[in-house]
Amino acid sequence: MSAEYEVVSPDAGAMIESMRAFGYDLATALADLIDNSISANAKNIWVEFMWDGAESAILIVDDGEGMDEAGLVAAMRMGSISPMVKRSENDLGRFGLGLKTASLSQARCLTVVSLANGAEVVTRCWDLNYIAEHGGGEWRLLKPPIPDVKNHAERLQSIGKGTIVALSKLDRVVRDGSPGDKKAEKRFRERIDEVRAHLGMVFHRYLKGPGALSMFINGTKVSGWDPFIEGKSEALAAERLSYEGEKIQVFPFVLPHHSRLTKEEHSAASGPKGWNAQQGFYVYRNRRLIVSGDWLSLGIQKEEHYKLARIQIDLPNSLDEAWHLDVKKARAYPPAAMRDDLKRIARATRDKAAKVYRHRGKVLQRKHADDFVFVWSAKTLRGRTYYKVNRDHPLVKSVRKSCEDGEKFSSLLSMIEQAVPSPLIVINNAEQPDTLGVPFGDDPKGLLQCMREVYGILIQEGETNTAAATKLAVMEPFNAHPDVLTAFLDEINRG
């Protein structure tokens, strides 16, 4: 079909500066580059932070397949492959962008040096300053002479094959500082810990087992962080789901209560965001972690007593579009048709996880059943039944004490007691049995708030942590939620 058209190419300078704002941070950017090394079958990856003030650099060195000249030029193109193209099963790429967008999100200069079997060392460079000042709006990819990258070339030759991705002019990492600026150097080196934790988490399944990948940061091996504490957690029944003919495997786990772990194990298992925040789904694409601890917008909140629930989902890369994978490989959420299944699995796992706490709470309750504290009690007077609020309930007592007008408070309580809508309750219960709500059954935040208040009051009255905990376990309305209560107390005991 013939059509009239104009070619409207993006201005390289403007476009490339805008592409810096994809929202990577240093750790997600490096993970995206490591994806490329893994896809190129690297067995070893060395990440190096090299401090030199404004000239500091970060290198990602791998011993993967490397690229020849044509391959490298293609790789440096923005959108080197269409996201619509079917990828091989183990390929961690999708958009043909990561090498450029991840690198340039942190650095103004990206130099790639590569050596493939049977080829020469080749190098190319995107330099944002050059493009801004001399690019004339064109996508000018620089061809540095090999002697300019002599050290990198020699290093690749000694490995035999592989690729070095060098990030320099790190304006988003090193804002200021001369080489001798110790404070700036310390800030730079501190980023290593954050990167190490992130890479250890994202790639943990590549870092173990036969033929495992070895990854080093500044010479120190990166160890994997296993969210499921293999061998110690309870594995619930695995499920095989399918979507558009592709298999999705789901492995729910309930992690052990902290009393079954050493202090070190418990703190190691907590993960980068902490125990409560790390509950939820862990979405893997191949063996690479995309989402770590999230309820995937299924309308489920993170709550303390569900924190032992962690669920592994394994996706093939053929479902990238269906799962809304983003360029940074930091987000994915399920297609509508899968939500019900995932909700069902989440509920069952959360219920199992809460049982750990419920059980502990019930043991506590049984032990101290004689000290039970009610909110309401029934009194019979001249053949009629009245319901009264327990004036000795710690919260009632404390509010009364702090009330300037004690009379008014007593009147309020009397009014509530006299006006209890007993007939309505009786009728409702007769017409629709079992529909009466559990106190705070649908208001976990309100429950926690109330629990905190009463716990605070008991501590103020001089109770020890343990005594306060015991009292809460046998006190209305908290007795109806032994799981929430024990998770709350665990949290308090751990400071």
Cα angle: 392, vertex 396, 400; to 5 degrees: 105
CB of 67 to Mg ion, least distance (A): 13
Tell me whether residue 86 or residue 183 sits nearer to ligand ATP (CB atom): 86
Select from 113, 130, 131, 132 the least CA-distant residue to 122: 113
Residue 96 is a binding residue for Mg ion (CB under 5 A): no
Cβ atoms of 177 and 183 closer than 8 Å: yes
Tell me whether residue 36 or residue 233 sits nearer to ligand ATP (CB atom): 36
With CB atoms as reference, the residue minimizing the distance to Mg ion is 98
Under the rule (CB under 6 A), what is the footprint of ligand ATP?
Answer: 32, 35-37, 40, 62, 64-67, 75, 80-81, 93-100, 163, 327
Q: How far apart are CA 192 and CA 48, in angstroms?
A: 9
Which DSSP string do the residues of 226-294 spell out, in sequence order? -TT-TTTSEE---EEEEETTEEEEEEEEEPPPGGGS-HHHHHHHH-TT-TTTT-EEEEEETTEEEEEEE
Residue 98 is a binding residue for Mg ion (CB under 5 A): yes
Query: Phi, psi (5° rounding) for residue 369?
Result: -60, -30
Tell which phi-psi region holds residue 118, choosing left (phi > 0), alpha (psi between -120 and 50) or beta: left
Q: Which stretch binds Mg ion (CB under 5 A): 78-86, 87-95, 386-394, 428-436?
A: 87-95
Tell me whether residue 60 or residue 354 sits nearer to Mg ion (CB atom): 60
**β-strand pairing of 122-127 with 109-115:** antiparallel
CB of 105 to ligand ATP, least distance (A): 12
Sign of the CA dihedral 210, 216, 219, 225?
A: negative
Tell me whether residue 98 or residue 271 sits nearer to Mg ion (CB atom): 98
Tell me whether residue 100 or residue 258 sits nearer to ligand ATP (CB atom): 100
Cα angle: 378, vertex 382, 386; to 5 degrees: 25
Cβ neighbors of 202 (< 8 A, separation 6 or more) are 31, 288, 289, 292
CB of 114 to ligand ATP, least distance (A): 7
Cβ atoms of 139 and 88 closer than 8 Å: no
CB of 338 to ligand ATP, least distance (A): 22
Partner from Mg ion, ligand ATP, none contacting 304, C-beta within 5 to 8 A by type: none
Residue 93 is a binding residue for Mg ion (CB under 5 A): yes
Tell me whether residue 98 or residue 394 sits nearer to ligand ATP (CB atom): 98
**β-strand pairing of 309-315 with 280-285:** parallel
Cβ atoms of 395 and 453 closer than 8 Å: yes
Tell me whether residue 60 or residue 342 sits nearer to ligand ATP (CB atom): 60
Q: Which stretch binds Mg ion (CB under 5 A): 10-18, 36-44, 410-418, 435-443?
A: 36-44
Residue 66 is a binding residue for Mg ion (CB under 5 A): no
Partner from ligand ATP, Mg ion, none contacting 96, C-beta within 5 to 8 A by type: ligand ATP
Tell me the CA distances in angstroms from 68 to 73, 111, 140, one per residue in order.
Answer: 9, 15, 19
CB of 300 to Mg ion, least distance (A): 32
CB of 38 to ligand ATP, least distance (A): 9
Residue 36 is a binding residue for Mg ion (CB under 5 A): yes
Find the helix packing angle between 26-39 and 98-106, rounded to 10°: 150
Cis omega (within 30 of 0) on the bond before 423?
Answer: no
Tell me whether residue 162 or residue 482 sits nearer to ligand ATP (CB atom): 162
Tokens 């003030």 belong to which residue?
Answer: 53
CB of 96 to Mg ion, least distance (A): 8
Partner from Mg ion, ligand ATP, none contacting 169, C-beta within 5 to 8 A by type: none
Sign of the CA dihedral 345, 347, 352, 353?
A: positive
Residue 163 is a binding residue for Mg ion (CB under 5 A): no
Query: Phi, psi (5° rounding) for residue 163?
Result: -140, 140
Continuous H helices in 93-172: 98-106, 128-134, 150-159
CB of 35 to ligand ATP, least distance (A): 6
CB of 129 to ligand ATP, least distance (A): 21
CB of 203 to ligand ATP, least distance (A): 14
Tell me whether residue 36 or residue 479 sits nearer to Mg ion (CB atom): 36
Tell me whether residue 321 or residue 443 sits nearer to Mg ion (CB atom): 321
Partner from Mg ion, ligand ATP, none contacting 75, C-beta within 5 to 8 A by type: ligand ATP
Tell me whether residue 66 or residue 280 sits nearer to ligand ATP (CB atom): 66
CB of 296 to ligand ATP, least distance (A): 21
Cβ atoms of 335 and 323 closer than 8 Å: yes
Q: Which stretch binds Mg ion (CB under 5 A): 34-42, 144-152, 244-252, 475-483?
A: 34-42
Partner from ligand ATP, Mg ion, none contacting 94, C-beta within 5 to 8 A by type: ligand ATP
Binding positions for Mg ion, rule: CB under 5 A: 36, 93, 98
